[in-house]
Amino acid sequence: MSRTLYDLLGLLAAVLFIMALKGLSSPKSARRGNLLGALGALIATVAVFFYAEPEYSLPLENLEWILGAIAIGVIVAVPAARKVQMTQMPQMVALFNGVGGGAAALVAIVEYIKLGETAGFATVLATVFTVIVGCVSFSGSIVTFLKLQELMTTRPVILPAGRFLIIANLVAVLGVAYWVMDEMGTSPLLVLAGLSLLFGVLFVLPVGGADVPIVISLLNAFTGLTVAASGYVLEATLLIVAGTLVGASGTILTRLMAEAMGRSLFGTLFGAFTQTAQAGGTEAESRPVKSGSPEDVAILLNYARRVVIVPGFGLAVAQAQHTVREMADLLSARGIDVAYGIHPVAGRMPGHMNVLLAEANVPYEQLVEMDEVNPTFPQTDVALVIGANDVVNPAAKTTPGCPIYGMPILEVQQAGNIIFLKRSMRPGFAGIENELLFDPKTTLLFGDAKASLTKVVSALKGL
């Protein structure tokens, strides 16, 4: 095809990407938006096979390698994306983001090897940027994946002299970047890639588990910018537009997320450097708590007028969405007012809990957002907290310096009774003790959320 047609198809793909992002910003058009994005990607990918730059000819060189590599990618990605549990989706997104950053860095490296001495200053600058940020995004995303998958600790990891290490690493990265631009060699570029990978690890390690989603969003924006920069290296307009769109919208999204969680972006990323890690009230563990039987819980619920269910990640892990819905239906049938209080970051990411409950067919009208449900807690007889901890922890309001301080919470402490369904006394994802567990009006029911709820349901039926 002609250059003009190829460029027009690229423009069409870029427009489809803009419409995709626009569509994804509103619930009604979100799914169509995503499909438009996929269509744009399909058009751009097919088009590249039918256009060769003047000094090359069709079909593309190495065609069998290219098609084989795409086939491998599809075979890996599709089953992974289709089978992943909805609870594990955040780490899946982190992983997809990381490999994208890695791909951009590799593309820049190959093009740099090819251009060699002929590369202009701006091209080398863009290459260096792509390699640094792409590698940071790659290794950073892998660390966030490991944290979310709980293959490593979810607490902030503070290395001895961590602050010194990361600054030294940053200086080394910038020094080698200068070396690359000065000497134009492949080996300095590979050293740069290695140092940048290390920087990504050091950058994400000190981030606490609860803040990881913000970091994923930020790294997502980073990857967008690397794609834009590699587009500059390759003089591919579509890559510049698509990458920049993601970079810009990702930056805004990161800020929105940080706001929803009541965190400052700076505090999230550098908090672990500027404050000492919170010990988390270890003295508290030996204090007595009031634990109850499923029957006690059923009685409390049965004689309530209004019940607010606060679902957390524990509910999702136990796959208890359906059981909780059965219980809610039972209570509603007895004339009890039931609502779900959804914290913006319940689960692992903003909006994650809505996805999980929607999967269990919970009626949408019963899902009440935090700002609407909070004023109703004083009139609520029972707040039933299922597998949630950090999002109801009053320490977010009362303990300056604790890792979640400043995060808006669901104010269940104002309800008449509080019931916690927990597996153990283990603190939540952020790793901090919850004072509420020791409150006199709190009843704890230990065990797997699904098993506990099943017992509560049968006890309710017997009443």
Task: Indicate which residues carry an active-site annotation.
Answer: 390
Query: How far does CA 448 lie from the centroid of its chain?
Result: 25
For the beta carbon of residue 251, count every other beta carbon within 10 angstroms.
Answer: 18
- Which of 391, 386, 388 lies closest to 323, judged by CA? 386
> Is 98 in contact with 145 (CB distance < 8 Å)?
yes
Name the one range near other proteins by CB under 8 A: 234-242, 290-298, 309-317, 393-401.
234-242
- Candidates 4, 54, 56, 118: give the one binding other proteins (CB under 8 A): 56
Among 156, 209, 247, 403, binds other proteins (CB under 8 A): 247
Contact between 320 and other proteins (CB under 8 A)?
Answer: no
429 binds other proteins (CB under 8 A): no
| Interface characters, 332-351, with other proteins (x: CB under 8 A) | ------------x----xxx
184 contacts other proteins (rule: CB under 8 A): no
CA distances from 139 to 195, 201, 275, 279, 332 (A): 11, 6, 25, 28, 48
Question: Order of strands across the sheet with 442-446?
Answer: 367-369, 337-342, 306-311, 382-386, 417-422, 442-446
Report the residue number, 138 or 199, with the smaller CB distance to other proteins.
Answer: 138
Asked if 361 and 325 touch (Cβ cutoff 8 Å), the reply is yes
> Minimum distance from CB of 102 to other proteins (Å)?
5
- The residue among 34 and 275 lying less far from other proteins, judged by its C-beta, is 34
Count of residues of this chain found to bind other proteins when the rule CB under 8 A is applied? 113
- Strand spans (E) along 247-380: 306-311, 337-342, 367-369
Task: Determine if 238 is a binding residue for other proteins (CB under 8 A).
Answer: yes
Q: Confirm or reject binding of residue 200 to other proteins (CB under 8 A).
A: no
11 binds other proteins (CB under 8 A): no
Among 188, 206, 208, 250, binds other proteins (CB under 8 A): 250
Give whichever of 294 and 312 is closer to other proteins, judged by the CB atom. 312
List CB contacts of 61: < 8 A, sequence separation 6 or more. Answer: none
What is the rounded end-to-end Cα distance, in angstroms, of the chain?
A: 75
> Could you say whether residue 21 binds other proteins (CB under 8 A)?
yes
Q: Which of 304, 318, 285 is nearest to 388 (CA)?
A: 318
Binding to other proteins by residue 66, rule CB under 8 A? yes
| Binding pattern for the stretch 69-108 against other proteins, x by CB under 8 A and - elsewhere | xx-xxx-xxx-xxx-x-x--xx-xx--xx-xx-xxx-xx-
Q: Does 1 bind other proteins (CB under 8 A)?
A: no
12 binds other proteins (CB under 8 A): no
Which residue lies nearer to other proteins by CB, 131 or 460? Answer: 131
Residues 111-150 that bind other proteins (CB under 8 A): 111, 113-114, 122
Minimal distance, residue 185 CB to other proteins, in Å: 14
Kindly tell me the burial class for residue 160, based on how many C-beta atoms sit within 10 Å of its own C-beta (0-12, 13-18, 19 or more).
Answer: exposed
Cα distance between residue 190 and residue 325, in whole Å: 54
Which of residues 63 and 167 has its CB atom nearest to other proteins in the complex?
Answer: 63
| Residue 151: Cβ within 10 Å count | 9
